[in-house]
Amino acid sequence: MRKIMASLDIGANALKLVVAETVGEKLNILGVSTIPNNTIKKGKIINKEELVNKLKELFKDINDRLGFEVTKTLVIVPSSSAEFTLGTGKIDVKSEDGIITACDIVSAVKKSAYHVVQDNMELVTIMPINYTLEDGTKVLDPKNLISKTLEVKTVIISALKSEVYDYLECLEKINVDVVDIAFASIGDYFQFRNKEFDKQVGAIINIGEQTTCVSIINKGVLTNTSTTYLGGSNVTNDIAYIYKIDKEKAKDIKEEFALAHKRMAISAETINIKNKEEKNISINQYEVSEVVESRLKEILNLAKKQINILTKKEISYIILTGGVTETKDFNLVAESIFGKNVTLGNIHELGVRNNIYSSVVGLIKWYDYNQKLKNREYSLLNIKEQEEFSKLSNGEELSSNGVIGKVFGYFFD
């Protein structure tokens, strides 16, 4: 069975929908659709009707690209109201020989969340910390081990129902089912995780258009997060205000001309544009880069303070991601605040090599990881639909890497 899944990020600046196929440990991007969005402010929907229309447009685009209808997806939900609670669950292992199965693990994890989530909150996810066998041995993966009992310690993550349901209701209106929900920071971690990170305490900072999210990951488990309402739009507004130009021009200058740090900027490098008063003005790269650097340092210093508030543990790594980190020379301003301990996100998957996609792509990896733990198969398509999509019925040969060849050309439209 081919494992094909979709993931949706309803961002303040853009809607992003990714469809991918997992082949072993590899992720093949089958299709990507991104459209501008202005229906979100501070994590809340300000125009539901317009968002529904934009979602219709988004799903139609991906359906046309892939040649089949995407009817279910993973969804990133706001984390501004996140609550974290420790839970424990203990069960008797079902099999007579005491061999722990995926069903036992799922039962223990579910039991840890009983009567924990408040009535006004929605369960987002449960992240196991460790499992304890009957002899007191603690393990990270108890599957196929022998024990009469199994106890699990978990972090139970929830968010306000009002915020989560608003997002889900919009998808319900376009007849798209939500398979699972999670915070963006979980996707970010699974996009960049490695074996060392799974043993350490670290921080992930995602700088988006309107917000900056700081999250603490303790040995692969999200333990705390906070959101501040500063992001790329603040940089744009600074440029627009100082040079008296409209925001569209300011955004173009930020993305195409300015640098994140003035060190490599060139004073002689200039652009000539008209301001709001229709006067011709000259903007040099060094000066506008100073403006960008100043705001980025403010955002990063605030994120640094948030890390110290969120945890007292020693931080072994810091990962920076989000669209703002694509600004030229962002590594220089990042190192000026965090030193050499900081890493910029680097996405390797073809078709999504931009940090705006880290959360939405990582969410598919997170879901695939969880399904493997549960010994479950999943896919957007049933077997018959997969055969049609892969043209098996016509006897055509398939690549060993899956069905990526069919949609490869879309990346270069």
pLDDT on residue 408 = 33
* Domain topology for 185-346: Nucleotidyltransferase; domain 5 (3.30.420)
What helix, strand, coil percent values describe the chain, rounded to 5? 40, 30, 30
Q: What is the CA radius of gyration of the chain?
A: 23
Q: Identify any residues that bridge with 150 across adjacent strands, giving them in sequence order.
A: 91, 133
pLDDT on residue 399 = 39
Asked if pLDDT for residue 28 goes beyond 50, the answer is: yes
* Domain topology for 83-160: Dna Ligase; domain 1 (3.30.1490)
The pLDDT confidence band at residue 406, using thresholds 50, 70 and 90, is very low
pLDDT on residue 405 = 36
Q: For residues 185 and 208, give the distance between their C-alpha atoms in angstroms, rounded to a whole number.
A: 12
Q: Which residue has the higher pLDDT, 379 or 317?
A: 317
pLDDT digits (tens, 9 = 90+) for 62-121: 999 999 999 999 999 999 999 999 999 999 999 999 999 999 999 999 999 999 999 999
For 385, the token pair is: 């639909």
pLDDT on residue 384 = 62
pLDDT on residue 385 = 64
Is this model's pTM higher than 0.85 or not? Answer: yes
What is the mean predicted confidence (pLDDT) over 285-294? 97
**Residue 46: burial class (beta carbons within 10 Å; 0-12, 13-18, 19+):** exposed
pLDDT on residue 197 = 95
CATH 3.30.420.40 intervals, the chain: 185-346
Ranges 40-49, 331-340, 397-406: which has the least confidence: 397-406
pLDDT on residue 382 = 66
pLDDT on residue 400 = 38
Asked if pLDDT for residue 391 goes beyond 70, the answer is: no
Residue 40: HSE in the Cβ half-sphere, 13 Å Cα cutoff: 25
For the chain, what percent of residues have pLDDT higher than 70? 92
Q: What is the phi/psi pair of residue 134, to 5°?
A: -65, -25
Q: Which residue has the higher pLDDT, 42 or 276?
A: 276
pLDDT on residue 23 = 85
pLDDT digits (tens, 9 = 90+) for 311-350: 999 999 999 999 999 999 999 999 999 998 899 999 999 9
Contact 86, 153 (CB under 8 A): yes
* Helix or strand holding residue 108 (H, E): helix 102-112
For 320, the token pair is: 């920076």
Asked if pLDDT for residue 398 goes beyond 80, the answer is: no
**Residue 216: partners with Cβ closer than 8 Å, 6 or more residues away:** 201, 202, 203, 222, 223, 224, 225, 307, 310, 311, 313
CATH 3.30.1490.110 intervals, the chain: 83-160
The pLDDT confidence band at residue 394, using thresholds 50, 70 and 90, is very low
For the chain, what percent of residues have pLDDT higher than 90? 85
pLDDT digits (tens, 9 = 90+) for 139-174: 999 999 999 999 999 999 999 999 999 999 999 999
Q: Which residue has the higher pLDDT, 98 or 407?
A: 98
pLDDT digits (tens, 9 = 90+) for 209-259: 999 999 999 999 999 999 999 999 999 999 999 999 999 999 999 999 999
CATH 3.10.20.370 intervals, the chain: 1-76+348-408
What is the mean predicted confidence (pLDDT) over 180-196? 96
What is the CATH code for 1-76+348-408?
3.10.20.370
